[in-house]
A and B are shown apart, each in its own frame.
Chain A
């Protein structure tokens, strides 16, 4: 039961003023500019856009500054802001096969058409703190460039396997997908709805679930068929024009996990896909999403549902960190009335028990 409380305005406003001072920190240290956050903390910006489910690097940078670097709070701010904007419509589905690639790696093929591109990655770094970054320095040298064949064709690995008939095709229905921002989640959820929930889900939660599938909670044998990262054009058809126009390019990361499927009465043994797609360069998130997507397909592929990552209700209802933080953190708000009733209740039970204990020995004699 909810009971309204009043009061505390003065204390609240003083608390917010202190928070603002703490946000700014030591005044002698230069204030962060949004462009610095956007340009130099790009992966934080990407994570806030992904979990805020709203692509706008400048807004995400502002949210990070306002939230003092708390990325869940920043995603919350972005979600709140987006509710003030009208929606013009939906884009055409992104064509990731036509991505301008920065990075493209496959763990399944050594040589593949278009080659493997490491791109700007933390992989193969030694994870040693670089103390040269502790002091401002000259900008790093421009990245190396090498000639490349104009628009070298880089087909998706899933297409290569599909050409051999070894990859289970995805359903191609062009029906209007369900939208979590319009209808609340309900289970069982179709895969398009699950992917939307995972794309905006908490990276840490999905990472842990994905890891659990590798450690035996769910019968997964995944390979990274392909990770690709780069810029894709977003196309939108304005109703007044009736033909698609490009409204800009966004950076996304896509992960195709290839998994064995033993086949069923109607389908031969083949590979199946777990799919991850996220705004920005959130590669860990895309990989975790792909693992969890595949785990959640267990039911429809006729596999036994035994592990947490395969349980739709468990995964989808707990993946959203804005929802989760709201419900966990509400516990610290005043619950005085509820608690008073619990207190009364407990005192009553104890008093009754004491009274009973006082009379019992006599009865036993």
Chain B
């Protein structure tokens, strides 16, 4: 077996892949597992790295729009798996849930296979994305219900 890198650093960003990685990062392990269960079992995979917990330093900007500064760290769990077929999947997810990171990495690998992608998008990613969008919309409606119009009382004498 000859060892070569999984993908060259600096791969062009793939908006579709960025989207499914984001959806998986925001979902919880139970929700991902429940969607996966409805499908035929995925092929075996091996762990290339992790799942392992670590930190990412979260940055802000001076005044919100200036130069970056270090705000504080957050826990992140990462995992990289390889399918028997060869595709390599990565996951970096907030928190310390190893199972979630491995499921997300497995799905990232599976979703790179054009033959599997449509089914996985339809049965796993889109339902999770819809649930996240619904939760965000509910929050926005709650915030809208607290919208306030202040009136200035002008006193004259």
Residue of B nearest to A101 (CB): B143
Write the chain A residue with the least CB distance to B52.
A86
Q: B68 near A: Cβ within 8 Å? A: yes
* Neighbouring B residues of A88 by C-beta, 8 Å: 54-56, 76, 78, 92
* B interface list, Cβ under 8 A from A: 5-14, 18, 21-22, 25-26, 52-76, 78, 80, 90, 92-96, 136, 138-150, 152
Q: B-facing mask of A231-267, CB < 8 A → 1, else 0?
A: 1011010111111111111100010100000000000
A179 to chain B, nearest CB (A): 5
Q: Is A91's CB within 8 Å of the partner chain B? A: yes
Q: Name the residue of chain B whose CB is nearest to the CB of A83.
A: B55
Q: Decide: A91 and B139 in contact? CB cutoff 8 A.
A: no
Which of B53, B59, B92, B96 is packed against the most chain A CB atoms within 10 Å?
Answer: B92
Alpha-carbon separation in the docked complex, A180 to B70 (Å)? 9
- With A116-B150, A250-B74 already in contact, the answer to whether A93 and B144 are too (CB < 8 A) is no
Bound Cα distance A53, B60 (Å): 13
Is A56 an interface position by the 8 A CB rule? yes
Q: How far is A275 from B140 in the complex, measured between Cα atoms in Å?
A: 25
A85→B147 contact, CB < 8 A = no
Set of chain B residues within 8 Å of A233, measured between Cβ atoms? 22
- When the two chains form their complex, are residues B142 and A145 in contact, meaning their CB atoms are under 8 A apart? yes
Partner of B150 from the list A110, A151, A169, A247 (CB cut-off 8 Å) is A110
CB pair A177–B67 under 8 Å, yes or no, is yes
Contact indicator B90/A241 (Cβ below 8 Å): yes
Contacts of A177 in B (CB 8 A): 59, 67-70
Q: Which residues of the other chain, A, contact B12 by a CB distance below 8 angstroms?
A: 243
Q: How many Å lie between the Cα of A74 and that of B67 in the bound state?
A: 31
B96 near A277 (CB under 8 angstroms)?
Answer: no
Closest residue to A102 on the B side, CB-wise?
A: B143
Contact (Cβ within 8 A) B69 A234: no
Bound together, the chains give a CA A286 to CA B11 distance in angstroms of: 38
Query: Are A87's CB and B64's CB within 8 A?
Result: no
Given contacts A177-B70, A238-B92, A248-B25, contact A118 B148 (CB under 8 A): yes
Tell me whether B71 and A56 are in contact (CB under 8 A).
Answer: no
| A87 lies within 8 A of B65 (CB) | no
Q: Is the CB of B143 within 8 A of A117?
A: yes
Residues of A with C-beta under 8 A to B71: 94, 195-196, 199, 277, 279
**Closest Cβ–Cβ distance, residue A138 to chain B (whole Å):** 19
The answer on a CB contact under 8 Å between A247 and B66 is: no
